[in-house]
Structure 1
Amino acid sequence: MTSAQIPGDVSLGKIEQALDGGDRPPVGRYRLDLATGEWAWSDEVYRMHGFEPGEIVPTTPLMLSHKHPDDRGRVDGVLRRAAETGQTFSSVHRILDAKGNTRTLAVTGQGRRDPATGRVTELFGYFIDVTDSHRAAAARDATASIKASDERRAVIEQAKGVLMVVYAIEDTAAFDLLRESSNRSNIAVRDIATTLVNLFFGPEVTDVPTREAIEKFLADPRPQVDA
C-alpha cells in the first residue's frame, strides 16, 4: 500500500500543514483497521521497516514481530489501550527491520470511532524515524525522566509527538521545549501539554495553528484575558 491509499484526516492534516521546509527525520503515515488487524502504510513506513513499498501486507502480528524484544510488550500495551479508549497517544520504541538493523521509531496517533456504535474502529497517525538522533538509551532515559501518572504521561507524550513533527526534533528536545516554557511561566508541564494538544485536536478547533502560533504559545502559555 502506498501513501496515496491512506486517506487524509483533518486532525493529522493540521500537523502536516504546520510542517515547514528543511531537514527533518523521515515521517510516514499509518492507519490500523482494528477489525482486520491490517495496517495501511505510506511508502516511508515500509522503508523504515526495511521493505520496499507494497512488498508485504502489514498486519499487527507482523508489526509486533519487528519490535525489539525489550520493547514489544510495552508497544503492544500502548496499542491495546489506544484501541480501547481511542485517546491520543505517543511512544518511542526500537524495531528490528527486515535487514536485521535496529532502528528507533516514534509513533503518535489517535483513534477513530464508528458514529453509530461509538466503538473505536481505527487507529491512525505518524511514524517518525529518529534513529540517527535518538538511540535506545536516550528513549529509556526520556521515559524514566517523566515521573508522573499514566494520564499525565499520555498528554505529555502526545504534546512531545506534536513538537517532534512540527520542529523536526527528537523526543528529549521536544520535552525540553515544554520544560523551558514551564520554567518561564511557572505553569506545570502537564497543563502546557494539555493546552498544546487541544490547539491541534480540541473539539472546537477550526483553524490550523501555524509554527509561529506554537512558538508564541510556548513563549507565553498563560491564559489570555480579553480586554
Structure 2
Amino acid sequence: MAQDENDKDGEDLEADLAGGRQPVARYTLDVPAGRWWWSDELFEMHGFAPHEVVPTTQLMLAHKHPDDVTRVAGVLADVTRTGNPFSCVYRIVDAAGRTRILGVVGQGDIDPATGEVTRVTGYFMDLTDRQEAFAQAHATQAVSASAARRATIEQAKGALMVVYGLDDAEAFEVLRHHSSITNEPVRELAARLLASLAGGTDGASLTREDLDHFFEVPRPPTRASPVG
C-alpha cells in the first residue's frame, strides 16, 4: 500500500514503535471474515475497557475524526487489497469525547494460491502526549522569539525617543515608515539600527548625527511634521 502522504510522520512513527517510547497496541484483521482482534491497549486508546465492545471496521471508522475518516478508510481499503506495508497518523474521538492522535503501521499476508490478502496485522501507538508536548514546545519557542523581536524594536524605539525627543508612537512610526522604504520588516530594521549603533550602550551615548546617518534624513521628524 502507498505510504501516507506525510512520509516524515511515518518514519517517526516506525522509529517510535521500534523504540517503545509510546503506548503501543496490537491488532489483527481477518480480511475474509471482516473480524478484528484488539489487544487490551487498543480498547483503552479508544476509551473502552478491554473487551467492552466488539471491534469492527464500522466501529473504528465511527471513531475517526471527521476530517480524517475518508483518508483512513482509503488506507484500510488499500492494504486489504494489496497487502503492502503502510504507516499513517490520524485523529480519533474516543468514547469519552476526547480527541487523540494515533499512529498505525501494518501489512497484509497474501495467500500465494489466490493472491488475496487474508490477514492484516500491525501496531497502533497513542501519539497524543507526544504531539501535545511538541505543540507546547513550539508555542513556547514562538513566544520566546516574539518576545525577543519585541525587545529589539523597543530598544530601537528607545534610542529614537531619547535622541529625537519623540514619544512611543512617533518613534514606532519612524521605524515603520523607513521599513516601508527599505522593504524590510520593522524588526529587521530595528536590529540593523541597533547593530549600526553598537558602539553606544544607551541612548545618551548616541547623537542626532548617528541616527540621521542611518536614516539618511537631513533632520529628525517633529510632532508637527511627522516622517512619512
Q: TM-score, normalised by structure 1?
A: 0.49
If you compute each CA radius of gyration, which structure gives the higher value, 1 or 2?
2
Q: TM-score, normalised by structure 2?
A: 0.49
Question: Greater relative contact order: 1 or 2 (C-alpha under 8 angstroms, separation 6 or more)?
Answer: 1
